[in-house]
Amino acid sequence: MSFLDHIHRCNAHDLSQFEPWHIGAQRVGWIHCDFAPRLVARPDLFDRVAGGWRLSGRLLDASARTIAVEAWLQELRDEALFGDWRGERYPVTPDLKRPPLMDMERAAVPSFGVRAYGVHLTGYVRRADGLHIWVPRRAYDKPTYPGMLDNTVAGGQPTGLGLMENVIKECAEEAGIPEAIARNAKGAGCITYCYQSGVQLKPDVQYVFDLELPEDFTPAIVDGEVDSFELWPVSRVIERVRDTFDFKYNCNLVLIDFFVRHGLIEPDDPDYLAIVAGLRATLE
């Protein structure tokens, strides 16, 4: 195995199985050919256009689109189409600087190939014996990726919340990190990937943050999404990422990016250029 294996895995997809989905003139997602019959059954919501799909032009603004599509998604939920309904909406937009064209239930976003955004934070400690990283294990009863290793703090980016606001919220909810400490988190760029799982497509952007934590601070389990926290020497984290699939798939990329930025993967590494380019391979 190598670091590149994780990058390739996160970008494994076949767009020939999908058709673009638009709101007005803006492409906002991708519809798999096996999911398309769901849209065919709702001509009041979706128009078939050359080479793809478009949300009905009769829905004139973001609020009308959100309400109409949400009602339909609730029907699909009743058919058990979405296994992890969150009651949390994501913005449908190709760029967070633009107003959302609509909002969509988080659980449905991958089925429409809509770009989701999130924040991933690496909490680290400088000790006399070197750099250490706080590594959580996901709760074993989580509906997604139970029991896998994760980034110190991570969460999706919901509608109506700023990125730093979300970091502070997730720090408190997932790791018991108080706001006074969480505000020291530093934005360190982003990673992008395009990951296919069956009919679902995730062309996502994860905003990356670093947070140096006090040596005497220990994260706490607050909301039940984490089974445990352990403080690992960075060498152990590097080995586990490089040699296994123990971390949740996209968390590997966040850590690889951390290794690059902190000089733990050096420019003389033969894969260095491919790694750096691969962490943002799908950024438009």
Domain boundaries, the chain: 3-11+117-278, 15-112
User: How distant is the alpha carbon of residue 110 from its chain centre?
Assistant: 11
pLDDT of residue 239: 97
Q: pLDDT tens string for the chain (284 positions)?
A: 899 999 999 999 999 999 999 999 999 999 999 999 999 999 999 999 988 999 998 999 999 999 999 999 999 888 877 777 878 999 999 889 889 999 999 999 999 999 999 999 999 999 999 999 999 999 999 888 999 999 999 999 999 899 999 999 999 999 999 999 999 999 999 999 999 999 999 999 999 999 999 999 999 999 888 999 999 999 999 999 999 999 999 999 999 999 999 999 999 999 999 999 999 987 55
Burial class (CB in 10 A: 0-12, 13-18, 19+), 269: middle
Q: Tell me how far apart the alpha carbons of residues 265 and 272 are, in angstroms, rounded to a whole number.
A: 7
Q: Give 15-112's CATH code, choosing from 3.30.750.160, 3.90.1660.10, 1.10.240.10, 3.40.50.300.
A: 3.30.750.160
Q: What was the pLDDT predicted at 149?
A: 97
Please state which CATH number belongs to domain 3-11+117-278.
3.90.79.10
The residue among 94, 107, 101 whose CA lies nearest residue 57 is 101
pLDDT score, position 283:
56
Model's pTM, two decimal places? 0.93
The Cα-based distances of 188 to 9, 65, 172 in angstroms read 23, 34, 20
Q: Which amino acid, residue 206? A: Q
- Determine whether 177 is exposed, middle or buried from the number of CB atoms within 10 Å of its CB (0-12, 13-18, 19+): buried
CA 29 to chain centre: 15
